[in-house]
Amino acid sequence: MSTENEGANVPSEATPPTGPQAPDSAPASASGAQTPDVPPAPAAPPVPGGSPWEQSHAPGGPGPSQPEQTAQIPAYATAGHGSSAAGWGSHGGGGGGGPWGAPGGGPAPKRRNGGLIAAVLVAALVAGGIGGGIGFWAAGQNDTGSTTVTAAGNPEALNRKPTSVSGIAQRALPSVVTIEAQGATGEGGTGTGFVYDKQGHILTNNHVVSSAADGGKLTATFSNGKKYDAEVIGRAQGYDVAVVKLKNASGAPLNPLPLGRSSHVQVGDATIAIGAPFGLSGTVTTGIISAKDRPVASSDGDGASASYMSALQTDASINPGNSGGPLMDASGNVIGINSAIQSAGNGGGMGPESQQSGSIGLGFAIPIDQAKRVAQDLIRSGRPVYPQIGVQVGMKDTGDGATIAQTGNNGSDSVTPGGPADKAGLRPGDTITKLDNTVIDSGPTLISEIWQHRPGDHVTLTYLRGGKEHTAQVTLGQRTGDK
C-alpha cells in the first residue's frame, strides 16, 4: 500500500486546504508483492479396499499519487470509497450496557480493485470446493450409519439481548447505507453512510462523495436492497464530512441512528463499526477505543486537500469501504464516523491497482460531537464553518510545538492583522506548545484541536518566545467555506 503523505509548507491553521500542496519531501517509493510458488496438486484419495490433502479497497479507480509529508504523526489512508488517499497524521464509546454495547448498462465505469473482490471470492469458492470433495469421499467410506449428533435447540439462547452486538446490529443495519459515487469521467467507488434525520439526510465522509459532487452520480442502497438516487447537500473538505440527501425518499426506512457524545468516550470502551469494506455491505466488526484525541490528517478522494481531526482510534476492523460508516458504543449510539486507517508497509496489495492494505487494527473516526456541528452547518447553509486563530504555522515541526511562520503563503502575513492571535499579542516565530491543557506538538495537532471548537470559544494558548513561556487568551474567529 502507498502511504504517501500530504501537507503544506505553511498552511493557515484556520484556512482549509484548497488544492495540491507542495511536498515537504520526496514521494514515497512503491513496492510490489512477489507471487509465491504454486504448490504441487494433492494426491488423489485411495480407492476403497486398496492399500493403504486476501485486501482492502472498495471498487474504484486508481487515485493520484500523493506527496509525502514529514511530520512525526504516522501516515494514514482513508478507509473509503475507492480513492487511494493517504494522509499525514492519518483514516469513542460512552453509554451504558454490557461489554459490547453493491450498476446499470452502458460503458462500465472505471473502478478500483475490481479484480480484488473477485479474487477474494474465488479463493473462498475454491476452498469450499476442496472441502466439499473431501467430505463426499469420506462419507463414501462409512456407509454403515450416520455419526452426526444433533444438539438440542435452546430458543431462549437465540433471543439476543438488545445490548448485545447482535441486538445493536439488528437495530442499526436498516439505517446504514452503501454509497456508490461515480464522477462525470466514470471514476468513483463505494463507501458508507447512515441516516441522520427523517428528512432523508445521510451523513458520510467528504472523500466518499467528492468524485460525484460536480456532475456525477450518487446512489444510496439500504440493507433491504432498495436503492435511491441522492445528491450532495454540502461537504467540508477540511473536516472530511459531507451530507447527502435522497432525491426521492418515499418508502425509505428513515430511522436516524441515535447520536452519542464523543466527549464522554474513554479508552477501553467497546466499539461496533458498520460499513461496506471492499463493497461488502452490512459488515459488522467490533473492538475497543484504543486511544482518543489522536491528531490525524488524511487526504480527500482527489488527493487535493487535507482534512484534520482529533480522532477516536479503534481496533475494530475497518477497511476501505467503511469510510462514512458509524462507529458506535456499547449502547448503540454513534460516537464517530469511520474515516481513515493506518496500513502496514507500502504496496502490500494484490496487483498494481491496489494502493491500500487491509486493517491492522488502527482505525480512526471523526468524533461525532464535531461531525454533528459540521452537519448542521451544511444542512443549514451548504457551507462549512471553521474556527480560526488567524496564523499560518509550519508543518515540519517534530514534537516541539507549532511555530508561527515568519512569512505566510505567497508573501502574506503569517499572523492575520486584526485577527484573534494578533489581538492576543502573538508574533511570527512564536511556538505554540499548548491549547488549554492539550499539548501541541505540531502544526496539524494545533489545527485539529482548534477545529474541535466553535467560533467564539475562548481558549488559552501557551507559547514560547525567546526561550520564555507566555500565555494568551484568544477568542476564536471563523472562516466560512472551503474556498
Q: Within 13 Å, how many C-alpha atoms sit on residue 463's CB side?
A: 23
Integer Cα distance of 189 and 109 in angstroms: 9
| pLDDT tens for each residue of 421-465 | 999 999 999 999 999 999 999 998 999 999 999 999 999 999 999
Looking at the DSSP bridge assignments, the partners of residue 306 are 299
Does this model's pTM top 0.75? Answer: no
Q: Does the structure show a pLDDT above 70 at 256? A: yes
Q: What is the CA radius of gyration of the chain?
A: 25
Among the options 24, 240, 269, 300, which is catalytic? 240
Q: Does the structure show a pLDDT above 60 at 198? A: yes
C-alpha cell read off for 148: 452426526
What are the DSSP calls for 407-475, one per residue?
S-GGG--SB-TTSHHHHTT--TT-EEEEETTEE--SHHHHHHHHTTS-TT-EEEEEEEETTEEEEEEEE
CA distances for 311 relative to 1, 21, 322, 409, angstroms: 22, 23, 16, 27
Query: Known catalytic residue: 207?
Result: yes
Range from 47-61, 268-282, 420-434 carrying the lowest mean pLDDT: 47-61
Residues of the chain with CATH 2.30.42.10: 385-480
Residue 304 confidence (pLDDT): 52
CATH of 385-480 among 3.30.450.20, 2.30.42.10, 2.60.120.10, 1.10.260.40 = 2.30.42.10
Q: Taking residues 184-193, what's their average pLDDT?
A: 88
Q: What percent helix, strand, coil does the chain show, rounded to 5?
A: 20, 30, 55
3-state secondary structure at position 271: strand
Integer Cα distance of 383 and 334 in angstroms: 23
Q: Taking residues 49-59, what's their average pLDDT?
A: 36
What are the DSSP calls for 289-308, one per residue?
EEEEEEEEEEE-TTSSSEEE
Q: Taking residues 280-302, what's their average pLDDT?
A: 85
Among the options 299, 323, 359, 448, which is catalytic? 323
Range from 189-193, 236-240, 347-351 carrying the lowest mean pLDDT: 347-351
Residue 151 confidence (pLDDT): 60
3-state secondary structure at position 351: coil
Integer Cα distance of 293 and 277 in angstroms: 25
Q: Does the structure show a pLDDT above 80 at 260? A: yes
Residue 221 confidence (pLDDT): 96
Residue recorded with cell 464517530: 336
| Confidence band of 159 (pLDDT split at 50, 70, 90) | confident
The CATH number given to 1-11+54-102+109-135+161-383 is 2.40.10.120
Residue 456, Cβ density class (10 Å: 0-12 exposed, 13-18 middle, ≥19 buried): exposed
Q: Does the structure show a pLDDT above 50 at 145? A: yes
Query: Known catalytic residue: 240?
Result: yes
The single-letter DSSP state of residue 68 is: B
Among the options 207, 281, 317, 442, which is catalytic? 207
Residues of the chain with CATH 2.40.10.120: 1-11+54-102+109-135+161-383
Tell me the pLDDT of the chain averaged across its residues. Answer: 74
Four-residue CA torsion sign, 351, 354, 359, 360: positive
Q: Does the structure show a pLDDT above 50 at 211? A: yes
Q: Does the structure show a pLDDT above 70 at 285? A: yes
- Whether the CB-CB separation of 17 and 386 falls below 8 Å is answered with no
Q: Taking residues 145-169, what's their average pLDDT?
A: 72
